[in-house]
Amino acid sequence: MASLIGFYSLIFGLCVSFLIILFSIKNFRNSNIFDNKIISLTFLQFFLVIVSFLSLILSFVKSDFSNQTVFNHSHTTKPLFYKVSGTWGNHEGSLLLWLLVLTLFIFIFLLKSKEHNKQYRILTLLFQQIIIIGFFIFVIKTSNPFNYIFPVPNEGLGLNPILQDPALAIHPPILYLGYVGTSIIFSSTLAATSLNYISKEWAKHIKQWILISWIFLTLGILLGSIWAYYELGWGGFWFWDPVENISLMPWLALTSLLHCILVLEKRLALTSWVVVLSISTFTLSMCGTFLVRSGILNSVHTFANDPERGLFILIFLFCLIFLSLFIFFFFHKTKNKDSNSFFWFSKETSILINNWFMIYFLTVVLIGTTYPIFLEVISSKKISVGPPFYNKLIIPFLIPFLFAMAIGPKLSWIKSDLKNKSYLILFLIISLLLSAIIIKSFNINFLINTILVTSAFYLFFITLRDFFIKGFKNLAQNLTHFGFSLLILSILFNNIFSTEIITNLKIGETFETDKYKINFESIEQKEEQNFKAIIGKFNIKNFDGNIEIMKPELRIYNQPNIVTSEADIKTNLLVDKFMTMNLVQNQDYFNIRYQIKPFMLWIWFSVTLISFGGLISLFKKKYEA
């Protein structure tokens, strides 16, 4: 019954889309007052999608295996929390969540934009409805979450065990709020461009939506990174996995767009940048959906899929890109040509430089992610692009980017000078000396690491100074930039000072290095609701005499029958001690991986600071002077 209600709610929601378009076109032509029936219909559409989504949740909670999605991704022994989160832990359910957020955001947009031009609101709604209709058809035709199975099975296949995790349960909804938020930016920008409505007031209005998307996307990436760190046993915060990259690309574009909108808000400049980045950000979000669901990418994150789904998204994406490019080239007008020419030493120029760096980083990530795909199509050769590729192309440009980011916010709008900026030189000298001492002490590759750490320290000291000197003035910017500087510094120290031991041990054996002695004491077994656990006990003695007990696990899930490795992580303010064990097939020993990862906690904390800075900017009433 729930599946039937859910399916027909989707059908009626699609019908309401056409009604909204009909009323919108009529209202656009014939009246100067916005028709409130349109808002009522938009709410009705949102309500119907909510009913559909709740019906799917109910089917999962009840373990209704007559529903194919529930059968494929649930099991009676699965805890209730994971039954609910399993609703969006699959292709069909996650697309229904996309649709839910799409309809929610356009409804909120109409409520929050009452002071704006009627035609602009209607045109934004029309562009958004094109996207919504595309997703309705996609869900109903190729990804129906309410397909019926007969005869009804007694038991389901179960949810992938690595998805049965609290962080991953909330990761997709938060990430989707970021992704789908870019659709409102896209629709709004196309509407404003079509009507020549781009102005300072529009910039202030759309900045709120950019911030909302940026905050949720940042938090979504953070949660995904934390999950991969402790659940997949990779022992790090980022591995340039293709699906990780797909979330990073719209974030880079969105960060550039956020800086551009600040200039547009002050000077009505960089309008072309704003339009192009708005289109690019949404396109990258859609590309991510296409690549993850088409079967093209090989990643732990990818969904079970078929080519028909990928083809539909690809055609739909090309239609949206063609529409947006047509509007950009035929309707976009620069209101003031002089507004795009800046004095070389000004805040506007620093933001422009920031944008070029961001676009370069985005291009590197895009090439690294898509190049293996094209190579396989052309030559049938399979390659993977890993950290060495990104490090070689990003690190040399990261150094000037960090210096530019440290100096840029200190400049004035329109024109700046170097008066009272002597502290910039002082901090540079301090950063250089401190970096040289640290790198020399640890006997690491001196030149490149010294320059890199110097640039990170320089940004850190400059942003730290802003807290003490400026107080609550520009708090959002200061907090976000300080969080970013702390992130870069933590990442550098994490990469430079990490150590790793990989060995094979039997129970009772000991592995010894000049710094660590690892003794595999014993194993014990434990039975939980839907898995059995084999827990290893390891006694680790450090070179300074301290003893650490580590207990990594192997979990054997009953449905589906899969073995996963659960890391044991000991965390303090400065360092993480990380251990995993894996059974070597047809052998009586285990593969042991022990890592020392400095500043992991500071990486998570710094990204939280960055997000919090965005949140402050979203809620503050008085904008930067």
d(CA 347, CA 355): 12
Contact by Cβ (8 Å): 543, 516: yes
Range list of H helices, 31-117? 36-61, 68-73, 80-85, 91-112
Domain-located, residue 142: yes
Residue 25: count other Cβ atoms within 10 Å of its Cβ.
12
Q: Is 80 exposed, middle or buried (0-12, 13-18, 19+ CB in 10 A)?
A: exposed
What lies within 8 Å, CB to CB, of 464 at 6+ separation is: 482, 485
Average of pLDDT values for 499-515?
88
Domain count across the chain: 2
Q: How confident is the model at residue 276 (pLDDT cuts 50, 70, 90)?
A: very high
- pLDDT (0 to 100) of residue 240: 87
What lies within 8 Å, CB to CB, of 356 at 6+ separation is: none
* Structure-model confidence comparison of residues 31 and 370, the more confident one: 370
Left if phi > 0, otherwise alpha if psi is -120 to 50, otherwise beta: which for 235? left
Chosen domain end from 164, 198, 231: 164
d(CA 286, CA 407): 35
What digits encode the pLDDT tens for the residues 48-78? Answer: 999 999 999 999 999 888 888 888 888 887 8
Secondary structure letter of residue 546 according to DSSP = -
The gap from C-alpha 562 to its chain's centroid, in whole angstroms, comes to: 28
Domain-located, residue 211: no
What digits encode the pLDDT tens for the residues 467-485? Answer: 777 766 788 888 999 999 9
Domain-located, residue 64: yes
Domain-located, residue 446: no
The gap from C-alpha 221 to its chain's centroid, in whole angstroms, comes to: 3
What digits encode the pLDDT tens for the residues 371-381? Answer: 887 887 788 77
Domain-located, residue 293: no
Chosen domain end from 164, 199, 231: 164
What digits encode the pLDDT tens for the residues 257-272? Answer: 999 998 888 888 888 9
| Strand ranges across the sheet with 590-598 | 499-505, 590-598, 575-583, 568-571
- pLDDT (0 to 100) of residue 625: 39
Domain-located, residue 81: yes
3-state secondary structure 49-74: HHHHHHHHHHHHHCCCCCEHHHHHHC
Domain-located, residue 538: yes
d(CA 625, CA 623): 6
| DSSP element (H, E) containing 538 | strand 531-542
Q: Tokens standing for 112?
A: 């929050």
- pLDDT (0 to 100) of residue 304: 46
Q: Which domain holds residue 114?
A: 1-164
| pLDDT surpassing 90 at residue 183 | yes
| pLDDT surpassing 60 at residue 302 | no
Domain-located, residue 268: no
Beta bridge partners of 485: none
Q: Tokens standing for 33?
A: 């007052």
Backbone angles phi, psi at 480, to 5 degrees: -65, -45
Sign for the pseudo-dihedral over CA of 344, 349, 350, 352: negative
Beta bridge partners of 556: 532, 563
What digits encode the pLDDT tens for the residues 386-436? Answer: 888 998 999 999 999 999 998 888 877 766 666 667 788 888 999 999 988
- pLDDT (0 to 100) of residue 386: 83
3-state secondary structure 248-280: HHHHHHHHHHHHHHHHHHHHCCCHHHHHHHHHH
* Structure-model confidence comparison of residues 357 and 546, the more confident one: 357
What lies within 8 Å, CB to CB, of 215 at 6+ separation is: 178, 611, 614, 615, 618
d(CA 124, CA 145): 29
Chain position carrying tokens 């730290």:
464
Chosen domain end from 113, 130, 164: 164
The gap from C-alpha 607 to its chain's centroid, in whole angstroms, comes to: 12
What digits encode the pLDDT tens for the residues 121-164? Answer: 999 999 999 999 999 999 998 888 999 888 888 888 877 777 77
Residue 53: count other Cβ atoms within 10 Å of its Cβ.
21
d(CA 301, CA 127): 30
Average of pLDDT values for 567-573?
90
What one-letter code names the amino acid at 434?
L
d(CA 539, CA 522): 10
